[in-house]
């Protein structure tokens, strides 16, 4: 984190964040250890509060399978060259059931769809189009609705959008 473009928050930084916010952020992390993005977010308590709430729900409350969400997160990280995001989500993807073969396939400019099933290919089509073009063709959404239903389609789109926000934040501030 030596090249981060803002000084990350440290325990001796004044003012201290609200205790509840700090507890919530630590609660989302393995071993309660804050990571680089957390320390940068804590430069703005309102941002850290909203971010923690939104991303906490994307990570833990959606019905869309965690493996699928992590697949989306990894692909967004690749497309936006967000190495920090990849490094955080690669182990989480594997833990959620993803494979190293699929993770490596995500690193290509154009993904070889042969290692992915129909649902994963549909999620990758959404992720690539939304991240690269912003606009997503109606047939991509229709395919997602047929495979996942409307609620999980909304969650897939929200996951792509949320992690594009994450990666753009990370890349801009060199986290």
Residues 81-100: tens digit of each pLDDT: 999 999 999 999 999 999 99
Are 75 and 106 within 8 A, CB to CB?
yes
Global pTM value: 0.94
Burial of 146 per CB tally in 10 Å (0-12, 13-18, 19+)? exposed
Of 97, 107, 106, 41, nearest to 68 by C-alpha is 97
In angstroms, the CA 154 to CA 141 distance is 9
* Domain 66-172: homologous superfamily in CATH: AhpD-like (1.20.1290.10)
Lowest average pLDDT, out of 13-17, 40-44, 161-165, goes to: 13-17
Residue boundaries of the structural domains of the chain: 19-60, 66-172
């Amino acid at each position: 984190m030596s090249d981060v473009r803002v000084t990350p928050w440290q325990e001796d930084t004044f003012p201290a964040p609200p205790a509840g916010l700090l507890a919530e952020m630590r609660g989302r992390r393995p071993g309660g250890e804050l990571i680089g993005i957390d320390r940068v977010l804590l430069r703005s308590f309102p941002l850290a509060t909203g971010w923690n709430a939104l991303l906490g729900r994307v990570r833990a409350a959606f019905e869309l399978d965690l493996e699928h969400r992590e697949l989306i997160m990894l692909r967004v990280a690749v497309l936006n060259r967000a190495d920090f995001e990849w490094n955080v989500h690669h182990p989480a993807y594997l833990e959620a059931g993803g494979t190293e073969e699929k993770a490596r396939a995500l690193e290509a400019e154009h993904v070889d769809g042969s290692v992915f099933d129909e649902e994963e290919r549909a999620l990758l089509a959404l992720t690539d189009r939304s991240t690269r073009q912003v606009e997503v063709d109606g047939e991509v959404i229709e395919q997602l609705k047929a495979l996942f239903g409307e609620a999980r389609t909304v969650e897939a789109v929200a996951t792509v959008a949320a992690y594009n926000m994450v990666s753009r934040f990370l890349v801009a501030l060199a986290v």
